[in-house]
Structure 1
Amino acid sequence: MSGSDIDWEDDDPFEEQREQAESPMRRLIFDYGRPYWFPMIVGLFSSIFARALDLLPALLLAVAIDAVFDEAVFHEQVPLTVLPEAWLPTSDTEQFAFVVIVIAGSFVLGAVFHWLRNWGFNSFSQDVQHDVRTATYDKMQRLDMEFFSNKQTGEMMSVLSNDVNQLERFLNEGMNSATRLIVMVVGITFLLFWLNPQLALVSLAPVPLIAIFTYLFVQKIQPKYAAVRSSVGKVNSRLENNLGGINVIKSSNTEEYESDRVEDVSQNYYDKNWGAIWLRIKFFPGLQVISGIGFVLTFLVGGYWVLMDTAPGPFTGTLETGVFVAFIMYTQQLVWPMAQFGQVINMYQRAEASSERIFGLMDEEGRIEREVDSDALEVRDGSVEYDHVEFGYDDSERIIDDVSFDVDGGETVALVGPTGAGKSTVLKLLLRLYDVDDGSISIDGQDLRDVSLPSLRRSMGYVGQDSFLFYGTVEENITYGTFDADREEIIAAAKAAEAHDFIQNLPDGYDTMVGERGVKLSGGQRQRIAIARAVLKDPDILILDEATSDVDTETEMLIQRSIDDLTENRTTFAIAHRLSTIKDADMILVLEDGQIVERGSHEQLLANGGLYSHLWGVQAGEIDELPQEFIERAQRRQARTEVDLDIDADDD
């Protein structure tokens, strides 16, 4: 599907989560901010005092002008009436020096409060950001596999990175700016009314208009930011997907095609983001113009009042030169916080859009019920029972249909069948990556739904076809999940997996870095390290899903010998397309369309002449001897598989 065919208007992968998030900003501040109240209170009060001190110089300048230059009575000036008269100087020189010292002191003390403010808000925002990110990741990794099958990695990375960073910006810059704005507006309003209530009404006349203008902005910008957050996730998904498949891109010579696809998602982000930017760049200048009206009116009315020494129009009384200067300075100071009000609303809306995605994800409920007080699984013999198990990834189709079988402790059971028969799904249900829809699965008589998940998964070792390795050393990947193992145990596990010899030949042996996803190692080497990891864990039940699919025949023979030792006296489930690797299993289950169509030993199944014998004939090269019915069924299965893949691609 080309990028131009994608409908970008209704494709927010977290829309459902966003809609179910309740009071996300309240939860952010009160639930996650509560442990860090001390730095927040320090930042809040320091911001209040710092901004209050910022207002003092203009007031003292008014005193100096009226008392020193206009020969007004110094101790009768409005800001000085709160001080004892004995503290105030009497001569002009001393009064001037007093004002200079107080102004200088206010700047020094203000700098101290500004430092405390920055420490408080930064500490608070960083701590909350850290807690939110780790809590979101912890919740995300505990969600069902069904959740991950419907989300792309880049989209989830966008929540953990971009969205959490948006919260940090609001908690630091946004709350700091909001506090500063409130203090400045309330403080200046109080001082203006204190100095001259009549002229204050003129200076504050634009405030109602600013409130209406801001309300309209909020209504328009909120849905735009939600669209921007979604588009960021899609950019991340495309980049993550392409970088992860760089080998395929290069080998397929599709660099230009992928560049076009990246350009497409980037253009979508550009369009969504520019829509929000265009609204902002129209809003902020407009807000500044409205705020400036107050300054112009103050200058016009106050200037006339002072120059003409008479009250204009309906006003009464006198206006001192110093008070007029203070009004001009305060009105100019008021213009900036009024314009900043839009910035605060802007940051808040961005943070709210992000918090909806974050807390919507945290509120996500999976199909698997996790009872915190469930009993731990006690594996005695390792017997496993599937009792009329049914399962589907959604309500439209059953993937597993009425599957029943019993496995005695220590037995090896192989699952074979065509692609899409449901083999891997059967074992995912045993790991409880999904819960059954009907029926039950039990280990030693204990229903999997009645035991705790950690105890269940501790008892199992899993080696998959895609042998995922983490970025780190060889040793770190072998010990993953068994972190307390010593070097002797690690080497013994590697030898059992036929991995020790090639590890010794690596540049730094067990300390060699394997690269992202183990890219520095071959597929066979990665599989042997994954097997060594399972050997080291020494599980009660072992699950092998195409565990030797990426190795050559000779290495497979060596690994198979090790696996035989590993599976001895241990309940083992093995999925294999190479039937030669499982022909010695105690029981072979043959699946087709989610049902068990045959079961028995290798010899019994060959003698039956059914699906298993035909699959064996394919691998033995006896294609000409296969019945036409088997070939037609294989063609139908292949066609159905391709349709399913196309649907999955369209969903992506």
Structure 2
Amino acid sequence: MTDDPEAYGDLAARHVSLRRVLQLFAPYRARIAGVVTLMVLSSAIGLAGPFLLRAIIDVALPQQDLALLVWLAGGMIAAALASAGIGALQIVLSTRIGQAILHDLRVRLYAHLQTLSLRFFTGTRTGEVQSRIAGDIAGLQSLMTETANELGRSLSAVVMTAVAIVLLDWRLALFVLLIVPVTVLISARVARLREALTYQQQARAADMSAAVEQTLSAPGIILARTMGRGSFLTQHFARISRDLAQLEVRSHTAGEWQWSLIGFSLATLPALTLLAGGILMQTGNPASIGTLVAMIALQEQLLWPFEQLLEVGRDTRKTRALFARIFEYLDKPVEITERVDAITIPRAEMRGEVALDHVRFAYSEGHGPAVQDVSLTIPAGSHVAIVGPTGSGKTTLGYLLARLYDVDGGAISFDGVDLRDLSFETLSQMLGVVSQEPYLLNASVAENLRFARPEASMDQLIEAAKVAQIHDHIAALPEGYETLVGEGGSRFSGGEKQRLALARTILRDPPILLLDEATSALDTRTERAMSQALDGLSKGRTTITIAHRLSTIREADLIVVMQRGRVVETGSHASLAAKGGVYAGLLAGA
């Protein structure tokens, strides 16, 4: 953690400009204009009080005019009441606008993250993503509601009061207005420092979120307990928490002496005004007692909104660091895009033919290709197995088939159409994927299955579960298909989770089925039963199996053997076993 917070401020400045922030408010221009009108009206009405006060002191009281006194006092009360009522309405409206803008920003960020390729998520901590969506946007709550409201109200009050002070007595007004530039400069300095510290705070808060996400999950607890590393993790968390606490202290106390100087300067204004009034009495054009009292009343009326305005400026600079972190994610380029003229294939016309033409892909520059020069034709309705040692590129090929990454060279096509030309909806209907690490939502079994097909009936859920050999287990549960699966499917075993994931994919009924180690967590008996079910399911459907366990793919129409990103052998089980090559070596080591 650097001791030079201003370096973080430079990063924030690169991502945030005032125009970019104001663009968030653009859809609400009409409503914002209404709120601003209410602010100005409230401030204008509030200014009537000091002028009525001057009239009471200089006219009504000296002349002992009770009727005039009643009217003037009543006017002060009416002005205060109207100002308070309008102010309350303005707060309600501005709060609604602020929450609407935050809602738009949250949804925009979430939607953008949904469009990023798998490359972004494999290189980013889950806790970091959650911190940006939840923590950083939550940190803008005060800006979008209280701070924005105070900014408008204080700004209008300061401007209107400054005008009134000048109209009251321009000579006395000089003592007020000359002190403003000094206080603004001091406030700007404090704001820059706190902005930089806020960026560090949020970065460290993201570290904490990631630590909690990784170590306080069920797998994290199991790892810590079995490795005896609980105390180490606690110490690591304590270091992060200590850094965050120190940053919180620095953020709230940075520039406090300068800020106290501002408070002192503003507090001396009434004394300076009275001193100036005394000096003017020695001239031929003195200020009246009523003018002095009204001037001090206006100063009091000015000091609070002016202090609020300075604080808003300081807090707004702090929140720019939050905007910087949010915009940093919004600026992430979308690698996987749908073309404007994307091709849509009706479900009834999908055949399931797959072709790879000299496909090449590398995860990053400077690293060797994970897949290189792979060409393969998979006829519709056939069963193709892809095997190879660890790191041979099998799973990467699966990612490319699902278009979780785009190929760097060559092309992959379904039914003769390049994946990059297909609409996202068509691609999701054509290909169903069951991975070696199935993901289940923390919801009921039925909700997890219907994630693939929301309109599916209960009979359809049961039919898919039976094919995946999981129905009997679900039916035996006390709540059946309404049973909650737990976080990450924690209430089910690895094999049960894989069968639930398979049932979910079967429910979608894709013409192409990609099984990436989908039976790796099944016992031999269940694997045999599900293999038989899949044989029936695979009729008329293209099945691509990525497997380590070679016993599951002996009956495949074609076995593709990969090594170091290349296809090195193809053929049936019998021919490859007799060949004595890489596949035979895998069989010998199985």
Output aligned runs, 1:289-438, within 5 Å.
289-302=264-277, 304-305=278-279, 311-312=281-282, 317-377=285-345, 380-397=350-367, 398-438=369-409
CA-to-aligned-CA distance 1:594-624 (integer Å, 9 cap, x gap): 11222211112211222222222222xxxxx
Whether 1:175 and 2:156 are equivalent positions in the alignment is no
Whether 1:582 and 2:553 are equivalent positions in the alignment is yes
CA-to-aligned-CA distance 1:1-28 (integer Å, 9 cap, x gap): xxxxxx66899xx9999676464x4344
| Equivalent position of 2:584 in the other structure | 613
| Equivalent position of 1:475 in the other structure | 446
CA contact (8 A) 1:203 1:295 kept: no
Q: Distance in 1 between matches of 2:228 and 2:284?
A: 83
Out of 157, 165, 168, the position equivalent to 1:192 is: 165
Q: Distance in 1 between matches of 2:9 and 2:535?
A: 49
Distance 1:64 1:15, change over 3 A: closer
Q: Distance in 2 between matches of 1:433 and 1:15?
A: 35
Letter in 1 for 2:35: G
Letter in 1 for 2:67: E
| Equivalent position of 1:151 in the other structure | 124
| Equivalent position of 2:206 in the other structure | 233
Output aligned runs, 1:483-502, within 5 Å.
483-502=454-473
| Equivalent position of 1:251 in the other structure | 226
CA contact (8 A) 1:177 1:344 kept: yes
CA-to-aligned-CA distance 1:535-590 (integer Å, 9 cap, x gap): 11000110111111222222222222222222222111111111111111111112
Q: Which runs of 5+ in 2 are unaligned?
A: none
CA-to-aligned-CA distance 1:187-230 (integer Å, 9 cap, x gap): 22111111111111112221121122123234433333322232
CA contact (8 A) 2:202 2:322 kept: yes
Q: Distance in 2 between matches of 1:366 and 1:150?
A: 15
CA contact (8 A) 1:288 1:335 kept: no
CA-to-aligned-CA distance 1:326-361 (integer Å, 9 cap, x gap): 222222333323322332122212332222332332
Output aligned runs, 1:63-142, within 5 Å.
63-71=55-63, 92-142=65-115
Q: Distance in 2 between matches of 1:15 and 1:493?
A: 55
SS of corresponding position for 1:70: helix
Distance 1:336 1:197, change over 3 A: same
Shift in Å, 1:390: 0.8
Letter in 2 for 1:293: T
Whether 1:262 and 2:262 are equivalent positions in the alignment is no
| Equivalent position of 1:286 in the other structure | 261
Distance 1:345 1:92, change over 3 A: same
Mean CA deviation greater in 127-136 or 261-270: 261-270
Letter in 1 for 2:22: I
CA contact (8 A) 2:168 2:291 kept: yes
Distance 1:340 1:267, change over 3 A: same
| Equivalent position of 1:272 in the other structure | 247
Whether 1:459 and 2:452 are equivalent positions in the alignment is no
Shift in Å, 1:243: 2.3
Out of 472, 475, 482, the position equivalent to 1:511 is: 482
Q: Distance in 1 between matches of 2:10 and 2:265?
A: 39
Mean CA deviation greater in 56-65 or 185-194: 56-65
| Equivalent position of 1:57 in the other structure | 49
Q: Distance in 2 between matches of 1:524 and 1:542?
A: 19
Shift in Å, 1:59: 2.8
Q: Distance in 2 between matches of 1:373 and 1:17?
A: 38
| Equivalent position of 1:47 in the other structure | 39
Letter in 1 for 2:305: P
Distance 1:9 1:210, change over 3 A: closer
Letter in 1 for 2:25: G
Residue identity (%): 32
Q: Distance in 2 between matches of 1:27 and 1:534?
A: 42
SS of corresponding position for 2:352: coil
Shift in Å, 1:184: 2.2
Q: Distance in 1 between matches of 2:223 and 2:383?
A: 36
SS of corresponding position for 2:562: strand
Q: Distance in 2 between matches of 1:188 and 1:548?
A: 75
Letter in 2 for 1:43: V
Q: Distance in 1 between matches of 2:109 and 2:230?
A: 35
| Equivalent position of 2:565 in the other structure | 594
Q: Distance in 2 between matches of 1:333 and 1:237?
A: 47
Output aligned runs, 1:23-42, within 5 Å.
23=17, 25-30=18-23, 32-42=24-34
Letter in 2 for 1:299: L
Q: TM-score, normalised by structure 1?
A: 0.85
Letter in 2 for 1:360: E
RMSD in angstroms over aligned alpha carbons?
Answer: 2.4
Shift in Å, 1:287: 2.1
Distance 1:19 1:488, change over 3 A: farther
Mean CA deviation greater in 213-222 or 186-195: 213-222
Distance 1:484 1:495, change over 3 A: same
Q: Distance in 1 between matches of 2:413 and 2:589?
A: 35
Q: Distance in 2 between matches of 1:607 and 1:526?
A: 36
CA contact (8 A) 2:9 2:199 kept: no
Shift in Å, 1:43: 2.4
CA contact (8 A) 1:41 1:120 kept: no
Q: Distance in 1 between matches of 2:450 and 2:437?
A: 18
Mean CA deviation greater in 458-467 or 516-525: 516-525
CA contact (8 A) 1:169 1:347 kept: no
